[in-house]
Structure 1
Amino acid sequence: MTAPPGREHLKHWMRAYERTAWRYEAKPLYTVDGDMLAQYLAGEPEPEDHNRDWHDKIRADRVAGKSMQRVKVVRRPFNDYTRYLMDWAIPGNVAAGEDYRILDVTEGGPDLPDQDFWLFDDEVVVHLDYHFDGTVSGIELVQDPDLSWYRGLRETVVKLAVPFREYVGA
């Protein structure tokens, strides 16, 4: 399969993957809806429809026999974004069926790359690049990736990471 360039790569593969979508998240900050973050920081309740489209996608993919997993690398103390993620974003993803794991490297850990990426069906790699403030600076379909490296990283971090509910004691 081929996909168009840029952001369209990611959109394409999020629809087209057949078995597995695996995400490695190494950054401490990603841009989110400023209103949502402000509501969270103001102590307002989480809106009932928060991330509904994403949760619907996760559920539909599961019904279709697909699985989605990710490992999020974190360091304490958590910044505002990570607290928002832990309280509002991840619980809904997990409830929808995503296998979301946390790798806390506050007290050390393996030498990990800081390159975020998706690995689709163990064959397709899409890099996600970010500016310091968490805004996307680029999305790139990796041509001829060293799949053994990406698969090996996944195997390593999945073993070291803790399922989200276990991490938060839920």
Structure 2
Amino acid sequence: MGRKFYSLADEEFNRLFTEFRFTAYRLESLQRYDVSYEQDEFARFLSGEARGEFPGIAEWIDGTVAKAAAAGKAMSRVHVVELPLSDYVRFECAWAYEHTVEAGEDVRILPVPKQEWPSELPHYDYWLFDSTQLVAMYYEEDGSFSAAEIIDDPQRIVEANYWRDAAQASAIPYREFARKYPDELRVSG
């Protein structure tokens, strides 16, 4: 296997998001991610506050997604989400996806009933850059980031391309999802 990264702030890891030439694709499988730069905002979301400044996502939107779009690069993701949605996925939709889509990211959602994972997709996260560079994303059970690993195995890279195509074909664009499932996007409680 290839290089491992143990921090989302690793400079070499972050260069992957600026040095790709054409496409960056993400498959998201978790129903909750626990990353430090979102904790305060997630708590505000749960308490019903309006979205205000959100430095962690603002940097992603302005520093990564918008710059890639301006350079003619395509960034996309599919998030497989279980229905009913977790509070975290509601948060991610309203406070992140709504804004990354506006900045140029093609966000798609693949809704599935709880415990009915699509058989053609893996149950783990990864990034695929230019269809040739695979980075597996590893998380703990609580959704906290553990590591990212560059995968050099050609067979796994081919599989990741297949999974990307299958996920994108089955998923619906974020805004269509939001129109189709408005009750799912409401905060519980």
1:151 corresponds to: 161
Q: What is the root-mean-square deviation of aligned Cα atoms in Å? A: 1.9
* Aligned structure 1 segments of 4 or more residues deviating by more than 6 angstroms: none
2:144 corresponds to: 135
Q: Deviations over 1:12-57 (max 9, x none)?
A: 2112111100000011111142110111011111014552111112
1:23 corresponds to: 26
Check if 1:102 corresponds to 2:116.
no
Distance 1:134 1:109, change over 3 A: closer
The one-letter code of the counterpart of 1:28 is Q
Please report the TM-score for the alignment, with normalisation by the length of structure 2.
Answer: 0.82
Please report the TM-score for the alignment, with normalisation by the length of structure 1.
Answer: 0.91
2:61 corresponds to: 55
Alignment of 1:32-43 (within 5 A): 32=35, 33-43=38-48
Q: Secondary structure at the match of 1:75?
A: strand
Q: Which moved more, 1:59-68 or 1:26-35?
A: 26-35
Q: Secondary structure at the match of 1:60?
A: helix
Distance 1:92 1:54, change over 3 A: same
Q: Deviations over 1:140-163 (max 9, x none)?
A: 010223232111111111000000
1:168 corresponds to: 178
Residues 82, 111 of structure 2: 8 Å contact kept: yes
Cα drift, residue 133 of structure 1:
0.7
The one-letter code of the counterpart of 1:110 is P
Residues 125, 145 of structure 1: 8 Å contact kept: no
Measure, in 2, the Cα distance between the counterparts of 1:162 and 1:109: 16
Distance 1:22 1:109, change over 3 A: same
Q: Secondary structure at the match of 1:169?
A: helix
Residues 79, 110 of structure 2: 8 Å contact kept: yes
Count of matched residue pairs: 168
Measure, in 2, the Cα distance between the counterparts of 1:38 and 1:110: 31
